Structure 1
Amino acid sequence: MCSQEHALQRLRRAAICGAFTVRMARDAGYSRAAIRHRQECGYWQPVVGKAYCDPRWAARFPALQTRAAAATLTWPGVVLCLRTAALLHGFRAPDDGQAHVITEGSRRTTGGVVPHRMGISPGEVTHRGPLAVTTRARTALDCLMDFPRSDAESLMIWVRTREVLTATDLEEAIAARQGHRGVSQLRSLTALTADGALSELEHRLHQLLREAGITGWIANAPVRVGGRIIARADVLFPAANVILEADGREYHQDFEADRRRLNSLTLAGYVVLRLTWRQVTEDPQVVIQQVREALAS
């Protein structure tokens, strides 16, 4: 095996999620001329920061992981945070194509690696493979405080329905972060969900039920069958096995997953009424009549 092949094998082993630096290439045995040639010919492509990847073997990894690894290679010791951490955890969050990291000291954005100076404790850091990432709860709180309002509202619904954060977690975070940037938004989002409603449509549905004198329901309730949670109901009437779904937001699962969920609820004996914004706001009496009929059946 020639020296270039040896260098290639060493670099592939050293790369993290397909990402590597020029220094790593030099340590693997590539000459400066060989490195420059691969950069100029596009064999090695920039990721973010100071890192590169060879698309032929970086394709084994999700692009997000390669980007995140590139950030940690650019600034060793950083912790991935905010949008980057949210996406790594599988949260529903828009991808801005950058890599967000918590750093010590003062640094400037470098080739798509965005530094953030935030305090963090060891208990707020976890690992996804070789990558240091803020925990799910810490990530959710940071994003709720940092995201634009509309993105933050969607994320609040997502994390609350999946119990990433509880109401107690939110109240404690507000108390601990008094005076921090974004805490007013966190407080406002928490107030909106205090009664269990996780969207404006759910608020209106709850109000409609109260005005009609319909009781015996629980908001944002887990549905358990055989000790296993099979769904989370926007409104659950546990004594009647009736569920009301407020279909006004995009946070619900994709079509196939939603069909499986509805099938599971039907097989478990639940009646599910799916209510739209138009029905709740324009035909409230029809909604109430349907709810009463479902409860009486």
Structure 2
Amino acid sequence: MPAALRPPALRGAVFRKRDVVAAGLLSSDCLRSSAWRRVFRGVYADAELPDSFGVRVRGARLLVPPSAVFSGRTAAYLHGATELADRRGLVEVTVPAEVRFGPVDGMRVRRISLPTSDVAYSGGWRCTSRVRTALDIARWESHPDAVAALDVLLARGLVDADRLREAAGVRRGRGSRQARRAVELTDPRAESQPESRLRVILTLAGLPPVPQHVVRGPDGAFLARVDLAYPDVRVAVEYDGAWHAEAGQFARDRRRLNGLTAAGWVVVHVTATDLRDPAALVARVRAQIRRATAGK
């Protein structure tokens, strides 16, 4: 492997191979050293930069045509909802229908002619507007994933609920019905994306729960606030995320569970593994509701 050569001008940089070679800063052989990391074909980054989604977006901007607009989860990331970055690292971009660009490994390229009202700038980045971003996610992704993302946008105040419903109501064309349904399923009270997915899975199965339900004891004192609830039969459904493994959390969870059990509640615990098998998850919750109903 060639010796690492790191010109000061390229420290912390993301750049195109052809530009730095033409400028005499590096040779093609030098780019094979450990000093550099390939981001896309023909695009490299200083290897000391984190291998992050933000670096990938910086690299994508060097490749896309001037008419391109970052869209979908990439636009959500640029608007400030960084937790919505594509889990697979794909950068989403939309180009006008007549523009020839792509495919590019590591990008998802869509050809759609956007009206100017749907294009915005966020921190100098050209991307879809916040409402258009939300509607695109709603019509491109499955309901559980889309609603989880919309819940984040609503909870963070990046999208107004009334404006989103209005925009979804007048939207026509491919995916518009799916987008309207996703918007109907949103609830900004959700405290995590897995919780949102869990709520949507149960709702679409005909078991709509009450989100963030407060449970009180016989004397009216606060006992707990549960993720999702069926108050009539005293069944709670809770998503157990990684934070439950934090120091001291087990003891707090145990005290909370004991209080709920003493008040006659049954808690169904759900993990990330359960979310990957929605049919089995729904069957488990339905069975618990059936048992609770029979015991009334």
Deviation at 1:23, TM superposition (A): 5.3
Going from structure 1 to structure 2, the CA distance change for 1:49 and 1:253 (only over 3 Å counts) comes to farther
Tell me by how many angstroms 1:284 deviates. Answer: 3.1
Q: Which residue of 2 aligns with 1:214?
A: none
Please list the CA deviations of residues 195-234 of structure 1 after superposition, one character each: whole Å capped at 9, or x if unmatched. x99434246445xxxxxxxxxxx833476xxxxxx97742
The one-character-per-residue Cα deviations of 1:247-285 (angstroms, maximum 9, x if unpaired) are: 5xxxx4623258769959949x97774236445422434
Match of 2:15 among 20, 36, 59: 20
SS across alignment from 2:24? coil
Do the aligned partners of 1:83 and 1:143 also contact (CA within 8 Å) in 2? Answer: yes
CA contact (8 A) 1:231 1:261 kept: no
Letter in 1 for 2:171: R
Query: Are positions 1:282 and 2:274 aligned together?
Result: no
Instruction: Tell me the residue number matched to 2:228.
Output: 234
Would the aligned equivalents of 2:18 and 2:42 in 1 still touch at CA under 8 Å?
no
Aligned match of 1:75: 64
- The alpha-carbon distance between structure 1 residues 69 and 94, as it changes in their structure 2 partners (threshold 3 A), is closer
Please state if 1:199 is matched with 2:200: yes
2:92/2:108 contact within 8 Å kept: yes
Deviation sequence 1:2-44 (CA, Å, 0-9, x none): xx97x7111225x2xxx212355258x535xx42221355654
Report the alpha carbon displacement of residue 69 of structure 1 after superposing the two structures with TM. Answer: 0.6
Return the match for 2:74 from 75, 84, 91. Answer: 84
Report the secondary structure of 1:36's partner residue: coil
CA deviation after TM superposition for structure 1 residue 156, in Å: 1.0
1:163 to 154, 157, 164: 154
Which one of 211, 214, 218 corresponds to residue 220 of structure 1? 211
Which residue pairs with 2:133 in the alignment?
139
CA-CA distance at 1:54 after TM superposition: 3.3
Contact 1:44 1:53 in 2 (8 A): yes
User: Which amino acid in the other structure matches residue 82 of structure 1?
Assistant: G
Question: Where does the alignment leave 5 or more consecutive residues of structure 1 unmatched?
Answer: 207-217, 224-229, 293-297
Name the aligned partner's letter for residue 267 of structure 2: R
Aligned length: 246
The aligned amino acid for 2:166 is E
Counterpart Cα distance in 2 of 1:243 and 1:126: 46
| Paired position in structure 2 for 1:173 | 167
Helix, strand or coil for the counterpart of 1:106? Answer: coil
RMSD: 4.7
Q: What is the DSSP-based 3-state SS (H/G/I as helix, E as strand, rest coil) of the residue aligned with 1:142? A: helix
Tell me the distance in 2 between the aligned counterparts of 1:231 and 1:25.
57
Is the alpha carbon distance of 1:280 and 1:222 closer, same or farther for their aligned partners in structure 2, counting shifts above 3 Å? closer
- Whether the 8 Å CA contact 1:174–1:186 is kept in 2: the answer is yes
* Alignment correspondent of 1:47: 39
Q: Is 1:107 matched with 2:107?
A: no
Assess, with a 3 A threshold, how the Cα gap between structure 1 residues 91 and 75 changes in structure 2: closer, same or farther. same
Shift in Å, 1:109 = 1.1
The structure-2 alpha-carbon separation of the partners of 1:287 and 1:175, relative to structure 1 and needing over 3 Å to count, comes to: same
Moved more, 44-53 or 274-283: 274-283
